Every structure is written in structure tokens, then in C-alpha cells.
């Protein structure tokens, strides 16, 4: 399914950012500085690409389509995914606060940022695994090809309207630059 493939490809980009985040936390742990512009770009990626783009596609289009074919929200996989999206949003908000403190040189905030990053990375690692191994196969089995086309078109429209033309490509360029800056190699963490 084309729509599910798009979400899986986005997961790959998010996994790269998770490796970058872990490298940032490691630098903080060694007492090293991280460029403020890189931190701002990371936060923008988490807020815009992960939440306003990827999670919005799932919450507004994929999850309702799955509910329409009998997949449970309450007590089911959709409810779990929504809860984890909210947990991620809270952690990103906390990270923004901690990194604002980091920029002003507060060591306590760097340590706080490290802790939040570790929690966020663990949450999203588990979340992506659940979606890739449970939710997405369920969608591929239950959704008809016509629904796939409709979902894919809705995903494309969401990107155009919410994040703008070319922003997706900008985020991929950012990922490659940050990966080169923070992460050695491209294999799994």
C-alpha cells in the first residue's frame, strides 16, 4: 500500500533523527556544546515533521479509516498509538524548555535535556516498532486499494497545506546534514 509505505519511509527519517538526538544527549553527557541552530532545527523537525505531518496523517486519516473497518480505538491499538503521540508531544514541550535553558548555559537544563531525550528516543523506538509490526500490517490487510489511494492523496494534501511545498525535502536534507554532523555510519543504533 502506497500510503503505508509513505508512513514507513517517514519512520526511517524519524529513526535517523532519534540517532541524532541520542548523539546530542551523549555530547551533553560529555560536557560538550551543541550548536544552537542545530538544536532549533531538531526541535522544528520534531514539532513539524513528526507531529504536524507524520502523526497528523495517522490521527486524521489512517486511524479513522481503520476504525471504519472495525479496528478498536478504546482498548485497541489505535488508542495506544494516540496515547503515545500525546506522550511524545509532552516530551517535546519539556525538551524545548530544557534546551531554552541550555542556550542560556544552565547545566541543570542540559542534564534535564539528556533525560528527556533518552525517554523520547525510547518512546518513539517502541512506538515505531508497534506501528511497523502490528498497526501497519493490520492496515494493509483490512484497507482496500481504493482507500489506500484516498489516504495517499489526503497525506499529500496535508503536507502541501500544513508544512508547505518543498519542506519535506528540506527536512530530508536536514537529516542528512545532522547525521553527518552527529552520527558515524548509517546502520542501526
Give me the average pLDDT of each 10-residue run along the chain (189 residues).
95 97 94 91 96 97 97 93 98 93 70 95 98 96 95 96 90 94 60
- Which residues make Cβ contacts (< 8 Å) with residue 56, sequence separation at least 6? 158, 162
Question: What's the rounded Cα separation, in Å, for the pair 65 and 139?
Answer: 9
pLDDT of 109 reads 84
pLDDT of 52 reads 95
Angle of CA points 122, 100, 169, to nearest 5°: 65
Cβ neighbours, 10 Å, residue 4: 20
pLDDT of 110 reads 86
Cell readout for 37 is: 541552530
pLDDT of 168 reads 87
Domains of the chain: 2-181 (1.20.120.520)
pLDDT of 183 reads 75
**E strand intervals along 32-162:** none
Q: Cell 498497526 belongs to which residue? A: 135
pLDDT of 188 reads 45
Coil/strand/helix, residue 160: helix
Amino acid at each position: 500500500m502506497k500510503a503505508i509505505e509513505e508512513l514507513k519511509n517517514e519512520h526511517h527519517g524519524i529513526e535517523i533523527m532519534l540517532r541524532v538526538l541520542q548523539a546530542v544527549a551523549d555530547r551533553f553527557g560529555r560536557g560538550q556544546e551543541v550548536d544552537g541552530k542545530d538544536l532549533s532545527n531538531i526541535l522544528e523537525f520534531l514539532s513539524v515533521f513528526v507531529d504536524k505531518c507524520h502523526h497528523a496523517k495517522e490521527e486524521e486519516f489512517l486511524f479513522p479509516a481503520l476504525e471504519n473497518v472495525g479496528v478498536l480505538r478504546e482498548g485497541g491499538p489505535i488508542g495506544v498509538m494516540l496515547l503515545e503521540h500525546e506522550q511524545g508531544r509532552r516530551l517535546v514541550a519539556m525538551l524545548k524548555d530544557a534546551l531554552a535553558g541550555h542556550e542560556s548555559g544552565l547545566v541543570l537544563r542540559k542534564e534535564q535535556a539528556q533525560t528527556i531525550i533518552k525517554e523520547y528516543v525510547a518512546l518513539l523506538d517502541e512506538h515505531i516498532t508497534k506501528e511497523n509490526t502490528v498497526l501497519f500490517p493490520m492496515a494493509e490487510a483490512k484497507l482496500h486499494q481504493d482507500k489506500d489511494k484516498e489516504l495517499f492523496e489526503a497525506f499529500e494534501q496535508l503536507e502541501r497545506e500544513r508544512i508547505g511545498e518543498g519542506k519535506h525535502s528540506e527536512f530530508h536534507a536536514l537529516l542528512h546534514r545532522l547525521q553527518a554532523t552527529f552520527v558515524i555510519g548509517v546502520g542501526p543504533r
